[in-house]
């Protein structure tokens, strides 16, 4: 993908089929999304948008956000107490 941008769509789809084994490619996926323009197949807008959509889905699946912790309870001290 880095050496031949025209392969990006194929590579991302292959990574999607790999499942969790594709996790080492997360930095490459993020790097591709950070670029203002990606090569993709035929350098078309439709293929670029597909590449972005599949990459974001794959990133979310491989590196989900950490679950939120339990809500913190309000302070038990009363105002005006010494």
Q: Report the Cα 17 to chain-centroid distance in Å.
A: 15
pLDDT of 61 reads: 93
Task: Tally Cβ neighbours within 10 Å of residue 38.
Answer: 20
Confidence band (pLDDT; 50, 70, 90) for 72? low
Percent with pLDDT over 90 in the chain = 40
Confidence band (pLDDT; 50, 70, 90) for 53? very high
Q: Which of 16, 5, 15, 1 is nearest to 41 (CA)?
A: 5
Q: Which of 19, 42, 41, 38 is nearest to 28 (CA)?
A: 38
The crossing angle, in degrees rounded to 10, of helices 26-34 and 8-18 is: 140
């Amino acid at each position: 993908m880095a050496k031949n941008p025209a392969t990006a769509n194929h590579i991302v789809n292959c990574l999607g089929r790999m499942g969790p084994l594709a996790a080492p490619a997360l930095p490459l996926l993020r790097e591709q999304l950070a670029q203002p323009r990606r090569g993709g197949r035929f350098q078309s807008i439709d293929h670029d948008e597909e590449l972005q959509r599949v990459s974001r889905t794959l990133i979310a699946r491989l590196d989900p956000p950490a679950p939120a912790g339990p809500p913190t309870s309000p302070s038990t001290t009363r105002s005006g107490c010494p």
